[in-house]
Every structure is written in C-alpha cells, then in structure tokens.
Amino acid sequence: MDTKKKKIAAGIVILFVLGAIGALVFLFLPRQAEKPKAEDEKIETIIPQPPAAQLPPHPGTIIVRDRGNKVTREAPAEAAPIEERYVFYKEGKEVPYGGDYDKVIPIIEVEITPRDKKGVIVAFPAVQADKIEIKSYGPDKKLLRTAVTDLTVTTPDPVTTPPK
C-alpha cells in the first residue's frame, strides 16, 4: 500500500474511533430529568388513595381455609394489602380501593377451592387444578365476593398443511 492510501485508511480509522467515543459519551452522560407528563399527573389526581387510618378497624386476623389441602390457618390482617383486608362498596356495588365508597366491610375469612376439569376439589398447588375459586367472607359469615381464576391453557390447533 502506498503512503497516500495508508493516510486515508488511518484517517477513516480515526474518524471511526472518534465516532465510537462520541457515541459512548452521549450514552453515559447524565441527562436532565424529564418533567412528568400531564397525563401522568391526571392519573395521580384522579385516583386519590385514602389513608388506612380512615378505614374501620379490622378484627386483626383473617382465617384462610384451603379446601384442596384441607388446611386452615390464621394470617395477620396487617400482612395483607388493604384490598385483601376490606371490601369497598358504593351504593351496594363493589368498587376498587382508592375510589369513592360509602361502605367498607372487613374480610374475616377466605376460602380457597381448587378444582379440576370435572369439578372435583384437588390439592393446591396442583397441575390438575383447572379453576380456583376464592370466596371472601365478612362478619357473621356474610359472603362479600367470589372470584374464579381459570387456569386452563388453550393451544391453537396444529397446522395440518404448511403454507405454500
């Protein structure tokens, strides 16, 4: 290679190295914090979280009955999130915590029932569990809510003919 071509090659290498250094500096330089977007501010103001001090006192424990494993235990209410300690109502309908509500009932007991495809109660955790039903009860064994989780996994039908 003659000297002119060597100088051009060296110049290209130097430009490449300087470009790489510039890119690294750009990536690792501290940036100014972005101002929160107006949409984010709206979300925070739309959903005010009432302090736990405004809630009625909880009896202190939640009885958890696992019908699959035939186990009953008591859990401290403070260990559960507020949404799992109380049920919130507005005009007789359940509403999420953090919204407007006119009635709050503490959850005293939770009953967990895992079932297989035939509806038979199975031990949990179990591969054969198809659905899990969770019932929450208040004072005097009043049913507050029922939630059913479907654990079935559906897979698409196999393709019998490959695309052309």
Question: Residues 94, 96, 101, CA angle at the centre, nearest 5°?
Answer: 65
The pLDDT, as a whole number, for residue 110 is: 95
Position 161 in a domain: no
Q: Is residue 9 included in any domain, yes or no?
A: no
Q: What confidence tier does 31 reach under pLDDT thresholds 50, 70, 90?
A: very low
Residue 74 within a domain: yes
Q: Which residues pair with 124 in a beta bridge?
A: none
Mean pLDDT of the chain: 74
> What percent of the chain stands above pLDDT 70?
58
80 located within any domain = yes
Q: State mean pLDDT over 43-67.
A: 71
Token pair 């591969």: residue:
127
Query: Is 158 inside a domain boundary?
Result: no
Indicate the number of domains in the chain.
1
At residue 73, the pLDDT reads 94
Task: Give the alpha-carbon dihedral of 132, 148, 70, 60, to 10 degrees.
Answer: 130
Note whether residue 18 is domain-resident: no
**7-16, 67-76, 101-110: segment of lowest average pLDDT:** 7-16
Q: How far apart are the first and last CA of the chain?
A: 52
The parent domain of residue 124 ranges over 50-150
The C-alpha R_g of the chain, in whole angstroms, comes to 30
Residue 31 belongs to some domain of the structure: no
| CA distance linking residue 68 with residue 71, whole number of Å | 8
Residues 6+ apart with CB under 8 A from 136: 87, 107, 109, 110, 143, 144, 145, 146, 147
Domain membership flag for residue 7: no
Q: Are 160 and 144 in contact (CB under 8 A)?
A: no
Q: What is the pTM of this model?
A: 0.59
In the structure, what pLDDT confidence band is assigned to residue 27 with cuts at 50, 70 and 90?
very low
